[in-house]
Structure 1
């Protein structure tokens, strides 16, 4: 399960299990209900006592493979409420009262790719891993909130290509497309993310959350719109 770790001047939120390269119960860090519960609880801790910047990362092959498709297929009637929870997670990260840096250690697909975009700054490891939106290839639409997130965090040209074609971007291509800010070798990934986060530490506090809410107002409004029934029909 996800956990917080204090490292120097930053706090790291790991999306996988402590002490393990892969979480055996959720090796792809998908958005399972219990996973969402724990991430939300940990982010509430960060918000309640904001002292240090946050680095969002994981270990192993995946940063996050996004939505829990097993849950979606097993309980399709619960899909709107499930997607509302995902939107709420995005809104929480977008408005944290601390600087946030995503250190994308491996594959970031679908909702996991969008999760990374909720951070203030993104670095992605070289050598291995893709950032991708596979929805078009899977014949799935984007929700209103997700579309607005992608439209506001990416250039129109990149959003169009990524959303229409399901292209897989390696680190260098992701930098060139403006998806991530830097490509970093694996052994320097979290250290570089911490360096960037620490440089912004002076802004920690409630005022930063207010600034983020002002900047992201239209996006937050769309993320708050309840998902309609039949979103995948």
Structure 2
């Protein structure tokens, strides 16, 4: 395949997938990267390209995936009007989180700016996170919308943070700065704006050799997140009337 790849197409360009040696860099640049059905489909398309190349290689390579947003926003979360108007959307979004959480190679979220709500969820579905130090927040603001969390979304957050941090994030809607996120282990590193992507690439390269484990890398994730995956698989439409 020839890189970079415009996704979903050159005519409708939500994101661009680059390849640098063993690294895949997915640059999301669709305004504030809100999730609707088309954006979820584009992300799945990108993951399929990476997965296809990895699985079809003649021998296992050191490889990893880095995702990054645009300007001061990584992702501002769900397109709520679209979600309300399309009942099937949430199941597709939860399936994307499940796929990313158990992806076949190491993943790093380069948080160039705000990661709110659904964008925060995407960041935590990655294996590692690098956050911009001078501006931007990680936040789950559902309590202020107000909006409930699907069990699978809550399960990801519960898995990735300590109980008191989980409390502050969910019940207070606390906006974590980069310094706070590093201190509470929500992110692995922080860096100045122009160094976020280089730092994320360096971290990805550090762990890329683990992809040489082949299917075992994904199997280990499947086992690590068994309970989370089970909750992400609960059809959302069955819960919505009671939430």
Does TM, normalized by the shorter one, top 0.5?
Answer: yes
Q: 1:231 to 1:83 in 2, by over 3 A?
A: farther
Partner of residue 19, structure 2: 6
Matches within 5 A, 1:79-98: 79=87, 81-98=88-105
Query: How far does residue 183 in structure 1 lie from its aligned partner after superposition?
Result: 1.1
- Paired position in structure 2 for 1:35: 39
The CA RMSD over aligned residues, in Å, is 1.4
* 1:104 alignment counterpart: 111
TM-score by length of 2: 0.86
Q: Higher mean Cα deviation, 4-13 or 158-167? A: 4-13
- 1:218 maps onto 2:231 in alignment: no
Q: Is the 8 A contact 2:102 2:218 kept in 1?
A: yes
Aligned to 1:155: 162
**1:192–1:232: structure 2 CA closer, same or farther, 3 Å change rule?**
farther
1:146-168 Cα deviation digits (max 9, x unpaired): 11111111111111110000111
> Deviation of residue 97 (structure 1)?
1.2
CA distance in 1, matches of 2:155, 2:199: 29
Hey, what's the Cα distance between the residues in 2 that align with 1:118 and 1:231? 26
The residue aligned with 1:175 is 182
Q: Which residue of structure 2 aligns with residue 45 of structure 1?
A: 49
Deviations 1:9-57 (A, max 9, x none): 41111222xxxxxx3xxx1100021111111011011112225210111
What runs of 5+ residues in structure 1 fail to find an aligned partner?
A: 17-22
**TM-fit CA distance, 1:83:** 1.2
Aligned residue-pair number: 220
Distance 1:86 1:70 in 2: 14
Kindly provide the CA deviation profile for residues 181-213 of structure 1, in whole angstroms up to 9, marking residues without a partner as x.
111111111111111111112211322111111
Measure, in 2, the Cα distance between the counterparts of 1:211 and 1:72.
Answer: 32
Question: For the residues of structure 1 that align with 2:53 and 2:241, how far apart are their CA atoms?
Answer: 37
Q: 1:229 to 1:210 in 2, by over 3 A?
A: closer
Runs of 4+ in structure 1 over 2 Å off: 229-233
Is 1:131 aligned with 2:120? Answer: no
Q: Residues 41, 213 of structure 1: CA spacing in aligned structure 2 closer, same or farther, 3 A cutoff?
A: same
**1:143, 1:231 within 8 Å by CA — same for their partners in 2?**
no
Q: What's 1:19 paired with?
A: none
Q: Name the TM-score, length of structure 1 as normaliser.
A: 0.90
- The gaps in structure 2 that reach 5 residues or longer are 1-13, 55-60
